[in-house]
Amino acid sequence: MLFTPFTLRGITFRNRVIISPMCQYSAKDGIADDWHLVHLGRFALGGAGAVVAEATAVLPEGRITHGDLGIWSEAHVAPLARVATFLKQQGAVPGIQIGHAGRKASMQRPWYGNGPLNDADIARGDRPWETVSASAIPIGEGWITPRAMTAADIAALVEAFVTAAGRAAAAGFELLELHGAHGYLLHQFLSPISNHRDDAYGGARENRWRLPLEIATAVRAVWPTNLPLSFRVSSVDGAEGGNSIEDTIAFAQALKAGGVDVVDCSSGGIAGSATAARVTRDYGFQVPFAARIRHEAGLPTMAVGLITDPRHAEAILQAGDADLIAIAREALADPNWAVHAEATLGAADPEARFATWPKQAGWWLNVRQREIDRLGPWKA
């Protein structure tokens, strides 16, 4: 199943391997450059069905770090279009995730500490900016307290997402994902841990859903009808008093009604690092969330998190626990994970083992393989 096509709206993925968004913290003023082209392009060359660009900020103050990609101006479109065009030329569906970091904005790049900006960061030119959130509650001790968003802020944020979606379509992306997980702004509205508002956007869970649903509905209205819309959730907060899987199943039902086509099922991150949660980590530890959302909310899901072996990915699909398999850090270790998985699962034609590789590499590898078959294994 991993190497059968899958269709959402008018887009067919050549297989069910999706490369997850992975922040590179390497942009300047939000502009995609050669690093992003090569980083994302290698996964398309490696056979993935779709490649999704990292969390891309809809406003400059929505960046996690100064190195994040942005889509808040027309200047961002052409560099992103270069990436989308290359991905599509190589047979992968080009995707992009858009979001706002909220109280997790204005942070250090991970290799400098992954915490609040300090004097050393400022000396490097990474100056802090005001952060906003659902409520004026910091991530934790030692973090900047964000400003609670006003009604005007919320209206401007919805418009920023809508405008960003239009730019993503203009750049040629065919899969759009809204980032509502990992403790970033939409998740900050969703979670009772970070949302203590007493207006229409706080309190009961349906009120906490209001802003993410307004954004999803508004984006769906401008995102082309033939193109799929995804929403990444933290399926559970994994912290006392936080959202449960039952909360997220109900939210997913509302997303479906708002025109979302697939739910990307992650977890955690409402406090601490992006994936921090008291969820026991084992291979495929988030798959049960994808399975429950798929069956109980009635819409396709994407499973993600410590799925490293192709046979495991295949088992998840065969069990009906998800429709798509998202690969992230394993793809950093092996950008050719998809074509290697195809061979591991016996999906590749043994008489043409490299037929699905880019022809520029496949013909070389076919010639080499004949020599290896003739010689047999190397012996010391």
Catalytic residue from among 25, 112, 184, 283: 184
Q: In the annotation, is 201 catalytic? A: no
Q: Shortest CA distance to 9 belongs to which of 161, 175, 167?
A: 175
**Residues annotated as part of the active site:** 184
